[in-house]
Amino acid sequence: MDALSYFATSWVSPELFGLTALGTFLGIYIGAIPGLSVTMAVSILISFTFSWDVNNALCLMVGVYMGGVYGGSRTAILLNIPGAPSAIATALDGYPLAQKGLAGEAIGLSTVMSVIGGFVGIIVLALAAPTVSKFAITFQPRDYMMLGILGITLVGSLSGGSLAKGIFAGALGLLVGTVGLDPMTAQERFTFGDVDLWNGINPVAVMIGMFGVGEALHQLHYMDKMVVKQKINRILPKLSDLKKYLPLSLQSSLLGVIIGALPGTGGDIAALMAYDHAKRITKNPKVPFGEGAKEGLIAPESANNAAVGGAYIPMLTLGIPGDAVTAVFIGALFIHGLNPGPLLLTEQPHMFWFTVGNLTLSNIFVLIFGLTGIKIFSKIVECPKGILIPIIFLLSIVGSYAINNSIVDIWWMLAFGILGYFMRLYRFPVGPVILGVILSSLTDQNWRRAILSERGDLGPFFAHIFTSPLSTVLFLAIVLIFFTQTPIWTKMLKPRLFRKKP
């Protein structure tokens, strides 16, 4: 009964209700405008909302997250430009549908399916999180350490190309997270005798730099891309279509939750895998995939929104982010004095049910805003980048100043912005950096606890890994990731891959 009243917190308070609505609305547009990402928006929002009440700040940010994941599909359908990485798969069949003049129908269908996916994700979150959390209490320090490393290497290896670049980015993040006074021994680390560095580098400044300024600088390369107008007619999807595709939507949603819940994999991978799944199980599609098959639109859209609920499971129960957005989110929770981890559910159950209620509310707003306001939508998305990008710079600078009223944070933010620009340019993934910064102290402290409990000896540390099934699985998973990048693997696989391409 308590859970229900916590669940309804944001439904009954007009202020929280309004903030959730505003957040979702903003999220849809931010997600839809190419060049603005949810990660960027949430990092900038943290800096402006950190002095707020926790509930208010969370309502706004949960709304932006939920809305943003959905919003990316809009521009994928209309312009063939995915507004967010999670909408890449949506563009494959969504854009051909729009070319046939079915843009409205495609948007309507993707909205409803996103919402269904969102609900599946939330239901699984509500059912699974308490169990996972109970299980997580039995985790050893070494398991946490390995989970942290697993998350970083997974994000590093999946977010494009080279594992070495991913590892470099992740390790850089871990290192940045250690700057300052060591929380266990109060020794100075990388402070160079500067008292200003005792508190470390502000993670929010790193986030805003990497995802705000770095991304916006990169966008300057693509200034001249023009926005193509599309005629939108009917937006409410046909009931027969909904009935027909419901099973596929539910399957993709479940797939999405599971992938979202794995550390290191988020909505983008969920969407691509769901697209693949739909391709495999649809024997005789009315329209071939890639030319406007509705199945190819529904599967990724259900999956990426379901992945939101999934991503919350490790985030709230283990304190381990699944991807860059959840890493930023964990940063926000820390700033508001919440400790995401196995104890969150027992010590602060109200926060958990509040978040679940919030996600549900936000999902309903996605449905409402998704099916209305198409006219304003096309106006806002047409906002030229020449105006948008200076505003992002302005907000990034003001945002990083606002956290501590300190000019030093602006310098860190700019330094990481320029680093982020060059990392993007030379195809380094930037997500692992943020993941590393957030996971740094967790991994560091659990490593040391694990080693201390073995009296500083590495031998028993490795021996004990194989006494617990969980540790064994985690250890093997990390080894497997590295193994798939070694010459033994790539030399056996590569010739086959290259033969396919002429």
Using CB under 8 A as the binding rule, whether residue 190 contacts another protein is answered as: yes
Tell me which amino acid residue 213 is: V
Pick the piece of the chain touching another protein (CB under 8 A) from 286-294, 303-311, 340-348, 414-422: 414-422
Closest CA to 232 of 96, 111, 374: 374
The token pair at 379 is 């106006």
Site string for another protein, 255-294 (x = CB under 8 A): ----------------------------------------
Using CB under 8 A as the binding rule, whether residue 223 contacts another protein is answered as: yes
- C-beta of 49 vs 252, nearer to another protein: 49
For Cα atoms 245, 358, 117, give the angle at the middle one, nearest 5 degrees: 15
- C-beta of 190 vs 466, nearer to another protein: 190
Other beta carbons within 10 Å of 116: 24
Using CB under 8 A as the binding rule, whether residue 185 contacts another protein is answered as: yes
Strands (E), 299-422: none
| DSSP string over 266-283 | -HHHHHHHHHHHHHHH-S
Q: How far is the CB of 387 from another protein (least distance, A)?
A: 6
Using CB under 8 A as the binding rule, whether residue 343 contacts another protein is answered as: no
Site string for another protein, 135-164 (x = CB under 8 A): --------------------------xx-x
Using CB under 8 A as the binding rule, whether residue 51 contacts another protein is answered as: yes
- C-beta of 360 vs 441, nearer to another protein: 441
Q: 393: burial class by Cβ within 10 Å (0-12, 13-18, 19+)? A: middle
Residues in the chain, overall count: 502
How many binding residues for another protein (CB under 8 A)? 63
CA distances from 169 to 211, 420, 432, 453, 490 (A): 14, 10, 6, 30, 22
**Among residues 12, 137, 398, 473, the one that binds another protein under rule CB under 8 A:** 398
Using CB under 8 A as the binding rule, whether residue 397 contacts another protein is answered as: yes
| DSSP string over 53-86 | -HHHHHHHHHHHHHHHHHHHHHHHHHHS--SSGG
The token pair at 6 is 């916590």
Q: How far is the CB of 445 from another protein (least distance, A)?
A: 9
CA 271 to chain CA mean position, Å: 13
CA distances from 187 to 4, 199, 248, 447 (A): 46, 12, 55, 17
Q: How far is the CB of 153 from another protein (least distance, A)?
A: 10
Ranges within 444-483 binding another protein (CB under 8 A): 444, 447-448, 451-452, 456-458
Using CB under 8 A as the binding rule, whether residue 383 contacts another protein is answered as: no
Site string for another protein, 425-444 (x = CB under 8 A): xxx--------x---x--xx
- C-beta of 157 vs 355, nearer to another protein: 157
- C-beta of 220 vs 473, nearer to another protein: 220
- C-beta of 122 vs 402, nearer to another protein: 402
**Among residues 12, 236, 376, 391, the one that binds another protein under rule CB under 8 A:** 391
Dihedral sign for Cα atoms in the order 93, 71, 329, 136:
negative
Closest CA to 395 of 19, 36, 28: 36
> Contact, 293 vs 93, CB < 8 A?
yes
- C-beta of 295 vs 444, nearer to another protein: 444
Q: How far is the CB of 179 from another protein (least distance, A)?
A: 9
Q: What is the CA radius of gyration of the chain?
A: 22
Q: Provide the H-helix boundaries in 159-233.
A: 163-178, 203-207, 214-219
Using CB under 8 A as the binding rule, whether residue 167 contacts another protein is answered as: yes
Q: How far is the CB of 41 from another protein (least distance, A)?
A: 14
DSSP 370: H
**Among residues 102, 124, 316, 389, the one that binds another protein under rule CB under 8 A:** 389
Pairwise CA distance, residues 479 & 496, whole Å: 24
Instruction: Enumerate binding residues for another protein (CB under 8 A).
Output: 48-49, 51, 161-162, 164-165, 167-168, 170-172, 174-175, 178, 182, 184-185, 187-190, 213, 217, 220-221, 223, 384-387, 389-391, 393-395, 397-398, 401-402, 405, 407, 410-411, 414, 418, 421-422, 425-427, 436, 440, 443-444, 447-448, 451-452, 456-458
